[in-house]
Amino acid sequence: MRRVVILGASGSIGQQALSILSARPEAYKLIGVSVHRQVEKLLPWLDRLRPEWVAITDSQTLARYCQEGFPYPLIDTQQLYEKLAHETVDVILNGIIGAAGFWASWYALQNPSARLALANKESLVFGGEWLASYRERIIPVDSEHSALFQCLQGERIEDVEKLILTASGGPFRGKTRAELARVTPEAALAHPVWRMGARITVDSATLMNKALELIEAYWLFGLAAESIEVWVHPQCIVHSVVLFRDGSMKAQLSAPDMRLPILYALSYPYRESATEGRWLPFSNGSMLSFEPVDEETFPTLRYAREALRLGGAAPALLNATDEVAVEAFLRGEIGFLDIFHWLEWCLTQPEMAEKPESPQALAVIEEAFRKKIRRHFLRATDAG
C-alpha cells in the first residue's frame, strides 16, 4: 500500500489524482491533501479517501472552516510544510498551480522517505537551481517530461544528443501576428486537445507553456538548453522524443490523458493496469504529423533560452511576468500580443541579472518584480 499526499487537490491534476486513488483503494492510501480556497471541490472525495489531515493554505478560508467545524483535522500552510518534510509517505504529488508550488516541492524534497511527483512546472522554473540536486527523487508528471523520463529508463544521459518536447501548437497554430492581435480570452481558453486550467491554457496559446517546459526539462535532465528542441505535433499522441548519439530515437505514445502520467508517477518504477485513456492506433484520425515551431509568431521559446542563458533570477522573473500578464489578459485589461510585449520588456530589466543565493532571497526579488510589472503596465493603462 503506497502512502500518498496530494497537493493542489482542487486543480485539474489534483482532481484527476483523487479519481485515480479512489479507483484503486487496494494500492494507495491518501495520507494528506491540500487545497488553497476551493474546499468544496475536495468535499465529495473525503468520505471515500479518508485522509489523516487536510491543509487549507488560504488563511481566511481555513479560519472559516475551523469555525464552522470540519470532519477531518485541519492544518495551515506552516503545518503542511512540516508534514511534507517529516511525514512517512511514499509519494507527494505537487499539483499546485503557479510559483507558490515551489515551497511545497522544496519541503517535500527534504523528506528522505518521499518521492516528489511533480506536476507544478513553476517549481523548477522558479528554483530549479536548488531542486536539481534532488532530481533522482523527482518523477515528472508533466506529460512531455514523463515521456522523456520513461524513454530514459535504462539509458545513460551521456548517450543523449537531444531531448525533443512535442507541442500541440495551441489553438492559434498557423495564425499570423495580425490575427493574434484580435484574439479574445474565450478563444485562448479553447484548447484543441487538452482540457486544463485557465492559465496553462493561455500559456499553450502563446507557447509560453512550452517555454516553461523547456526550462523544466533543462533542470530535470541536466542537458544544455541548445540540446532541447520543440516540435509541433497537433495530435498530442507522441508526448516527447529522445534522440541518442547513435541516431536512434525513442518516443512515448499514449492518449492525451493526464491520468496516465499521474498514474505512472504514483506507481513508478512499476506499472499498473489502467483502462483510462486508451489510444487506438487504427481508429480514424490516427495520422501523426510533426512540424517546426513558428518562432517568429510565437517567440516565447527564445525567451526561455535567453532566461536560461542569463541564469540566476531570470527564469523566475520571466515566469512571474507571464503569470501577471495572463491574469491581466483574462480580466480583459490587455490584448493577447501584449503578453509577448511584457515578456520582452522583462528580459531587458536589470533584475534579470540578479544572482540570489537562496530561494528565500529569490522570492523577495520576485515579489518586488511582480509589483514593478503592475506599476509599469497597469497603472500606465489606467492613466492612458
Residues near Mg ion (CB under 5 A)? 142-144
Shorter beta-carbon distance to Mg ion: residue 87 or 213:
213
Shorter beta-carbon distance to Mg ion: residue 7 or 119:
119
Residue 185: CB partners within 8 Å, gap ≥ 6?
202, 329, 330, 332
How far does the chain reach from its first CA to its final CA, in angstroms?
60
Residue of this chain nearest to Mg ion (CB atom): 142
Specify whether the backbone of 98 is left (phi greater than 0), alpha (psi in -120 to 50) or beta.
left
Question: Within 208-358, where are the H helices?
Answer: 208-221, 259-267, 300-310, 314-330, 336-347
CB of 142 to Mg ion, least distance (A): 4
Shorter beta-carbon distance to Mg ion: residue 201 or 321:
201
CB of 194 to Mg ion, least distance (A): 8
CB of 325 to Mg ion, least distance (A): 20
DSSP string covering 15-33 = HHHHHHHHT-TTTEEEEEE
**CA–CA distance, 216 with 233 (Å, rounded to integer):** 19
* DSSP β-bridge partners for residue 244: 160
**CA–CA distance, 106 with 124 (Å, rounded to integer):** 10
Shorter beta-carbon distance to Mg ion: residue 200 or 318:
200
CB of 198 to Mg ion, least distance (A): 15
Shorter beta-carbon distance to Mg ion: residue 77 or 201:
201
Distances (CA, A) of 20 to 6, 17, 266: 11, 5, 10
Shorter beta-carbon distance to Mg ion: residue 45 or 172:
172
CB of 144 to Mg ion, least distance (A): 5
CB of 304 to Mg ion, least distance (A): 14
CB of 163 to Mg ion, least distance (A): 13
**CA–CA distance, 205 with 210 (Å, rounded to integer):** 10
Length of the chain: 384
Shorter beta-carbon distance to Mg ion: residue 87 or 216:
216
Shorter beta-carbon distance to Mg ion: residue 10 or 209:
209
CB of 72 to Mg ion, least distance (A): 32
Amino acid residing at 168? S
Residue 230: φ, ψ to 5°: -130, 130
Distances (CA, A) of 43 to 55, 71, 72, 91, 368: 13, 10, 10, 22, 36
